[in-house]
Amino acid sequence: MADKKRHSVPLNRDEVTPKHIYQNRRQFLKQMGMVGLGALLASCAPRKPGASDIPPDAPVNGRTDELGDALTSYSAVTGYNNFYEFTTSKEQVASLAQNFETDPWSVRVDGLVNHPGVLSLEDMLANFNQEERIYRMRCVEGWSMVIPWVGFPLHKLLAEVEPTADARYVAFETAVVPDQMDAVDSGRFPFPYLEGLRLDEAQHDLTLLATGLYDEPMPPQNGAPIRLVVPWKYGFKSIKSIVRISLVAEEPPTLWNIVAPQEYGFYANVNPDVSHPRWSQATERRIGEPGRRETLFMNGYADEVMPLYEGMDLTIQF
């Protein structure tokens, strides 16, 4: 602990997980079926993809999403990643992130809430029932996957902290740990990675705080130990390794909108009819499949989420 690495939100001594709770975490993960064969880990110790008890390209038992699309292989989900704090090379994220320290971990929840506080990962695992959600993920770059996440809906956490009447948006922030994240000081991007949702989007039942995938604790390259998943929006909204969630009154700044506002809007809803200025969004490459397939409006979740956008022109508010 002496050389505990820097977090953008400092961990106070009394925020560090006491041993009995840490042990409960292991027990909890075990009950959740998240601890597999003995090797699976002293809690969430990072490891290389492929070192899993799940063989890299294990058949996924014919499991599909609700549209009948097959799950993307574990090796692709954990071996082809975007996590720019480590590198912009998708195939290298897993190895560069393998020593990212995610235990202990806590998330500060603050701003316009009646009950601000700091929640440890153990608190969240213990208080919010973990469930599996199989979601499509469509990256703005034009590729997609089908991923079996484990986590809990964000609205459960929001209900605990009670947003005040003035709260209209939720802002999220990723950890910045320069001595573990090779690229945060490169100057290429203005880290910390920031994201945001309107409060009603954040409260939608599809919006997940994910703590694992494929029944395992979240691998570091996928945003350990806790990340957002918003399946009807382009993947960049699904911010990884969250250390802070703030309820705010005004639309919060987001990293991609700061970097290129004409290319990346605040909403970033998947929309095959709204082209990126430099490429069409009409089709996508489903990882593991030959060719391209048509991109679905709202990534196939339109029935669930369109009530959120009544009266909005989604070509202007993109």
Q: Give the footprint of ligand MTE on this chain (CB under 6 A).
A: 81-85, 139, 174, 193, 222-223, 235-236, 238-241
Burial of 310 (0-12, 13-18, 19+ CB in 10 A): exposed
* Cβ closest to ligand MTE, residue 91 vs residue 166: 91
> How many residues in total does the chain contain?
318
**Dist. CA 161–CA 158, nearest whole Å:** 5
Q: Please state the closest distance from residue 210 (CB atom) to ligand MTE, in A.
A: 9
CB of 46 to ligand MTE, least distance (A): 14
Q: Which residues, including other chains, have CB under 8 Å from residue 112's CB and lie 6 or more apart?
A: 163, 164, 166, 167, 247, 248, 249
Whichever of 16 and 274 has its CB closer to ligand MTE, that residue is 274
**Which residue, 72 or 163, has its beta carbon nearer to ligand MTE?**
72
Q: Where are the alpha helices (DSSP H) in the chain?
A: 19-31, 74-79, 93-96, 121-127, 154-161, 199-202, 255-259, 302-305
- Each residue of 34-44: b (16+ CB within 10 Å) or e? bbbeeebbebb
User: With contact defined as beta carbons under 8 Å apart, do 192 and 173 qualify?
Assistant: yes
d(CA 231, CA 242): 17
Shortest spacing between CB 75 and ligand MTE, in angstroms? 13
Tokens linked to 121: 């990962």
**H or E segment and range at residue 45:** none
Closer CB to ligand MTE, residue 163 or residue 192? 192
In whole angstroms, the minimum distance from the beta carbon of 88 to ligand MTE comes to 8
* Two tokens, residue 71: 């799950």
Residue facing ligand MTE at closest CB distance: 235
Write down the least CB distance from residue 240 to ligand MTE, Å.
4
Between 241 and 246, name the residue whose CB sits nearer to ligand MTE: 241
Nearest approach in angstroms of CB 23 to ligand MTE is: 29
What is the Cα–Cα distance from 254 to 171, expressed in whole angstroms?
8
CB of 227 to ligand MTE, least distance (A): 7
Nearer to ligand MTE, 34 or 112 (CB): 34
Smallest separation, CB 188 to ligand MTE (Å):
11
Beta bridge partners of residue 213, listed in sequence order: 149, 216
What one-character DSSP code corresponds to residue 54? S
Nearer to ligand MTE, 24 or 92 (CB): 92
Q: Which is nearer to ligand MTE, 21 or 177 (CB)?
A: 177
